[in-house]
C-alpha cells in the first residue's frame, strides 16, 4: 500500500519500543541483579548494567535450591499433565461428539461448569480430598448406609483410603481435568464431515479405529497447540504444589522453590538479602516456558485463542 506516513511511522516505533522497554525493565533488572555480588546488589542506586557473577550466582542458586531434582520433578509433572490433559480432552470430546446417547448434553454441561470452579476458589476442600482421594466414595458409602450393610453382612469395615499428598499423582491428577481442552477438541471434531464417519463405517472401522487412524492424525495441529499452552500452565503451577507437597526435597517443583528464596527476615534472619541468588533462580525457573512460547509461538498463540474463545 502506498501511504506516506513518516511521522506516524516514527510514532509507531516509539510507542512499540516504549512498550517493549516497559515489559523488559523488571526482567532486565532481575537479570542484572543475578550478575552481581551480594554487596553490589544491595547498594543503592540500583545497578543497570550486568556484572560478571552470573555463572557463579546461577551455580550457587542451583545448588542451594537443589534445582536438579526439582527441575526433574517439574518436567515429570508438566509432561504428565500435558499428556494427560490432551488424552482426556481428546477421548472425552470424541465420546461426546461421535456417540449419540441420552445425557450427552448433561455431561457436556457438567464439564462446562468446571470452568467456573477454578482451583483457587475451592482450594481448601480440594486439599482435603487430596489427603484421601477416595473420601468422596467413603462418604457416599456411609451416608447411603451401604457400609453398614456390608459390615452387618460380612463383618468387614470398609475404609477406602488413597492419600495423594506428597506424590506425583497428587500433583498431576487435579490439574489434568480440562474443560477448555475438551471444548477445543469438540470444536475440531464438529468440523469433521459426516461423510468421513460414514466412509469409515463403510470401510468397517469401529469407533476406536476411527479415532486412532483418522481423527488423531488429523488433529496434530490441535495437539501441538494444546501441548504448548498446557506445558506453560503446568510448569507455572504454584498454589497446588505449595499445598500438596510438604516433602519439598523429594517432590518439590521449581516454581514453588521461588517462595523459599524471597529474601525476607525468614530466610536471611536479618542478614543482607541475597537478591542476587533469588534473581538468578528466578531467571532459571522462568526460562523453560518462555523458550516454549518463543519457539512454538504459532502453536501457542493458536492454542491460547482457540481454547479461551
Site for other proteins in 23-82 (CB under 8 A): 23-27, 29-30, 33, 41-46
Distance CA 133, CA 138 (A): 10
Identify which of residues 55 and 122 has a Cβ nearer to other proteins in the complex: 122
Distance CA 242, CA 259 (A): 9
Q: Is 305 an interacting residue with respect to other proteins (CB under 8 A)?
A: yes
Q: Which three cell numbers stand for residue 214?
A: 483418522
Distance CA 146, CA 37 (A): 66
Q: Is 19 an interacting residue with respect to other proteins (CB under 8 A)?
A: yes
| Interface with other proteins in residues 175-204 (CB under 8 A) | 176-177, 182, 190, 194-195, 197-198, 201
Q: Is 278 an interacting residue with respect to other proteins (CB under 8 A)?
A: yes
Distance CA 277, CA 12 (A): 38
What is the smallest separation between the CB atom of 154 and other proteins, expressed in angstroms? 26
Cβ atoms of residues 34 and 279 within 8 Å: yes
Quick one: which of 52, 120, 152, 220 contacts other proteins (CB under 8 A)? 120
Q: Is 143 an interacting residue with respect to other proteins (CB under 8 A)?
A: no
Q: Please, what's the largest Cα pairwise distance for the chain? A: 90
Contact string (CB under 8 A) for other proteins, positions 218-247, x = contact: --------------x--xx-xx--xx----
Cβ atoms of residues 86 and 181 within 8 Å: yes
Identify which of residues 235 and 251 has a Cβ nearer to other proteins in the complex: 235
Cell numbers 506453560 label which residue? 232
Q: Is 126 an interacting residue with respect to other proteins (CB under 8 A)?
A: yes
What is the smallest separation between the CB atom of 155 and other proteins, expressed in angstroms? 25
Residue 47 is given by DSSP the state P
Task: With contacts defined by CB under 8 A, name the span among 54-62, 75-83, 93-101, 143-151 that binds other proteins.
Answer: 93-101
Distance CA 268, CA 188 (A): 53
Amino acid at each position: 500500500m502506498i501511504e506516506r506516513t513518516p511521522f506516524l511511522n516514527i510514532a509507531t516505533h516509539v510507542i512499540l519500543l516504549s512498550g517493549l522497554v516497559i515489559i523488559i525493565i523488571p526482567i532486565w533488572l532481575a537479570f542484572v541483579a543475578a550478575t552481581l555480588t551480594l554487596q553490589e546488589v544491595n547498594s543503592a542506586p540500583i545497578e543497570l548494567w550486568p556484572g560478571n557473577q552470573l555463572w557463579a550466582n546461577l551455580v550457587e542458586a542451583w545448588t542451594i535450591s537443589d534445582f536438579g531434582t526439582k527441575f526433574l520433578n517439574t518436567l515429570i509433572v508438566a509432561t504428565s499433565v500435558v499428556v494427560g490433559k490432551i488424552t482426556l480432552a481428546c477421548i472425552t470430546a470424541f465420546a461426546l461428539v461421535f456417540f449419540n446417547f441420552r445425557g450427552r448434553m448433561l455431561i457436556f454441561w457438567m464439564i462446562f461448569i468446571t470452568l467456573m470452579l477454578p482451583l483457587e476458589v475451592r482450594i481448601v476442600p480440594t486439599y482435603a480430598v487430596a489427603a484421601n482421594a477416595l473420601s468422596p466414595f467413603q462418604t457416599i458409602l456411609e451416608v447411603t448406609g451401604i457400609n453398614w450393610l456390608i459390615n452387618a453382612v460380612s463383618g468387614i469395615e470398609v475404609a477406602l483410603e488413597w492419600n495423594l499428598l506428597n506424590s506425583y499423582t497428587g500433583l498431576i491428577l487435579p490439574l489434568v481435568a480440562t474443560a477448555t481442552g475438551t471444548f477445543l477438541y469438540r470444536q475440531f471434531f464438529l468440523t469433521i464431515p459426516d461423510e468421513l464417519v460414514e466412509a469409515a463405517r463403510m470401510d468397517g472401522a469401529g469407533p476406536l479405529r476411527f479415532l486412532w487412524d483418522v481423527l488423531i492424525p488429523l488433529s496434530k495441529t490441535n495437539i501441538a497447540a494444546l501441548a504448548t499452552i498446557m506445558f506453560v500452565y503446568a510448569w507455572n503451577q504454584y498454589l497446588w504444589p505449595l499445598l500438596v507437597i510438604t516433602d519439598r526435597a523429594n517432590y518439590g517443583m521449581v516454581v514453588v522453590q521461588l517462595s523459599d528464596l524471597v529474601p525476607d527476615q525468614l530466610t536471611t534472619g536479618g542478614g543482607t538479602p541475597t537478591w542476587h541468588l533469588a534473581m538468578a533462580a528466578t531467571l532459571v525457573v522462568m526460562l523453560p516456558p518462555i523458550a516454549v512460547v518463543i519457539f512454538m509461538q504459532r502453536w501457542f498463540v493458536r492454542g491460547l485463542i482457540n481454547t479461551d474463545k
